[in-house]
């Protein structure tokens, strides 16, 4: 998704790795998300609702950050993010349901000195798009359908991109 955007803009392509932090007994229910560098976003409402204790959150944050760091190392071969200071950064995702991972990525990007952050996605839930519009300089969303269940339902083919394919995009001249 991001490679064609970078190519069209003749811009560098990089990756941020984030992993959601799952709820006790339900890894798919995101209590938040964390990037490879440890920047995290927490769904405070859900954490309170489920009465999740701090020790669980910290263990889950460390676990998820480790997974994200390993993925980033695999993709990039380094922990260094492309230079973003005083630059406009376009964060591209395949779609946003709850926005947990993209929120963690935005937290990381805000700390890099980027001049502006643009978030670009083909599809997002309307409520999440509204919320995220206040957290970025520009939000580009192609569709915000009223009936939104999961990102994958808006694709004819929503197969995972293999690590090898993702790396091939990152290492093109």
pLDDT tens, residue by residue, 37-75: 999 999 999 999 999 999 999 999 999 999 999 999 988
Q: Where are the beta strands (DSSP E) in the chain?
A: 18-23, 26-35, 40-42, 88-92, 116-123, 138-143
Q: Could you tell me what percent of the chain has a pLDDT over 70?
A: 98
CA distance 106 to 160: 22
Domain ranges of the chain: 2-12+81-156, 18-76
pLDDT at 172: 63
CA distance 27 to 105: 19
CB atoms within 10 A of CB 29: 16
Domain 18-76 has CATH 2.40.240.10: no
| The domains spanning 2-12+81-156 and 18-76 adopt the same CATH topology | no
pLDDT at 4: 87
pLDDT at 159: 86
Over residues 90-100, the mean pLDDT reads 94
pLDDT of 98 strictly over 60: yes
Architecture of the domain spanning 2-12+81-156: 3-Layer(aba) Sandwich (3.40)
What is the C-alpha radius of gyration for the chain, rounded to an integer number of angstroms?
Answer: 16
Over residues 11-21, the mean pLDDT reads 92
pLDDT of 171 strictly over 60: yes
pLDDT tens readout for residues 149-158: 889 999 988 8
Q: How far from chain centre, in Å, is Cα 150?
A: 15
pLDDT of 123 strictly over 90: yes
Q: Could you tell me what percent of the chain has a pLDDT over 90?
A: 66
pLDDT at 61: 96
* Chain mean pLDDT for the chain: 91
pLDDT at 173: 57
């Amino acid at each position: 998704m991001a490679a064609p955007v970078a190519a069209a803009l003749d811009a560098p392509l990089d990756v941020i790795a984030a992993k959601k932090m799952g709820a006790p007994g339900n890894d798919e229910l995101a209590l938040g998300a964390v990037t490879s560098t440890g920047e995290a976003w927490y769904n405070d409402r859900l954490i309170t609702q489920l009465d999740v204790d701090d020790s669980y959150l910290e263990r889950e944050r460390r676990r998820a950050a480790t997974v994200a760091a390993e993925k980033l190392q695999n993709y990039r071969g380094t922990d260094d993010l492309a230079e973003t200071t005083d630059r406009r950064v376009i964060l591209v995702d395949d779609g946003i349901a709850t926005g947990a991972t993209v929120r963690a990525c935005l937290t990381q990007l805000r700390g890099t000195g980027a001049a502006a952050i643009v978030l670009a996605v083909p599809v997002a839930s309307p409520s999440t798009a509204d919320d995220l519009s206040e957290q970025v300089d520009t939000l580009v969303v192609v569709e915000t359908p009223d009936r939104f269940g999961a990102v994958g339902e808006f694709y004819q083919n929503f197969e995972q991109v293999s690590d090898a394919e993702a790396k091939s995009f990152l290492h093109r001249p």
